[in-house]
Structure 1
Amino acid sequence: MQELADYIKGYIDLKEDTFQHILSLSNEVIFEKGEQILNIGKTCKHLYFLKEGSVRSFIYQKGKDITHWVYGPNSLFTSWGSYILQNPSNEYLEAIDVCKVVSISYDNWQLLFKEHPELERFGRLMMEQELAIIDEFYKGYYFLSAKEKYELLISVYPNITQIANLGHIASMLGISQETLSRIRST
């Protein structure tokens, strides 16, 4: 669980009693490769810290599997809209490979925020950073060439090629896998 403590400490000073309270309300879970963590229409009740492995968020549109994002080790993930608003999800979450995660329920996070106000600061700072990354990526995304999209993704997410397969990356970028292969070979 040291990875989770280090992640939180990247945003705030984390007191030992606060971290022990987090641990008491969390569970370690293993998701197998290909396992659905969340399905469309289900409300996401957990925030996950990914210790090992990778997870993707995706939808099916016109019968096609479209990857929105890939999460790698040492990151928080969930179906953000569903989790924050406690509404049914409009996306799937799937383990790309075997994943070791720390899971904390929405209700337990709310309790932690109430009892440890410094965690609210953590939540705000983490969400600000995630929003800035998403904003930077998607603002330019629609106006860029395939090569520029790939370069933008690599600048925002340098290790993406080490945790996601080319098919998922191509899907994220809205390009064919063949086009992505050509871009990478130049």
Structure 2
Amino acid sequence: MTEFKNYLHQYFDISTDDCQTLASSFSAETIKKGEYFLRSGSPGKRLSFIQEGMLRIYVSRPGREVTQWISTKNSFVTDFDAFFYQNPSLRNVQALTDSRLLTISYEQYQSLSKKISAWNEFEKRFIGKCFIFMESRVFDLISLSAEERYKSLFEQNRELFNQVPLQYLASMLGMTPETFSRIRKKQAF
């Protein structure tokens, strides 16, 4: 939990006492490879911090699956629409590896504003960082070539290329597995 507290302290720029309160609201959870954290159509009941492992966020379409993202160690995972607005999830979140999580329920999350006086500011910062990340992903998808998207992902998340099925990475980058394979062969990393 100490690594998690350090992460929270840096991520939120939060006081030691507030950090302790926030961290104590999360509980340990394990998910085995292949198990689902969340299934499409289910309400979003939890937000988790990945201590170890990888989870794939994807949407099922007729005849195919579209990978939105692969969440890894030291990142948060949920379906934000399902969690924050309690809508049925549009996404599936499945463990690609055995994973250790720290999880907070929707109800516990809602009670944080009563426990932490500066929670509204921390929550704005958290949601803002999530928005900036997604905005950057969308911009990259519409403005970078397939080769540039490949190279960027490789430079930022090199470990994925040895641990995640390549068709998931291709989907996440908005390209076919064939295009991904062709680019991979051309790269001299």
State the secondary structure of the residue aligned to 1:29.
Answer: strand
Compare 87-96 and 163-172 and name the one that shifted more: 163-172
Aligned residues of 1:36 and 1:95 also touching (Cα < 8 A): yes
**One-letter code of the match for 1:103?**
T
Structure 2 residue ranges without an equivalent (≥5): none
Partner of 2:80: 80
Task: Provide TM-score, normalisation by structure 1.
Answer: 0.88
Identify the residue that residue 128 of structure 1 maps to in structure 2.
128
Q: For 2:118, what is the secondary structure of its paired residue?
A: helix
Provide the identity percentage: 30
- In 2, the alpha carbon distance for the partners of 1:168 and 1:5 equals 31
The amino acid of 1:17's aligned partner reads: D
Task: Assess, with a 3 A threshold, how the Cα gap between structure 1 residues 107 and 162 changes in structure 2: closer, same or farther.
Answer: farther
Residue 69 (structure 1) shift = 0.7
Contact 1:44 1:82 in 2 (8 A): yes
SS of 2:57's partner is strand
Q: Deviations over 1:27-79 (max 9, x none)?
A: 10000001011111111111100000011110111121111111110011101
Give the stretch that moved more between structures: 6-15 or 25-34. 6-15
CA RMSD of aligned residues (A): 2.1
Task: Give the count of matched residue pairs.
Answer: 186
Q: Note if 1:68 corresponds to 2:106.
A: no
TM-score by length of 2: 0.87
Unaligned runs of 5+ in 1: none
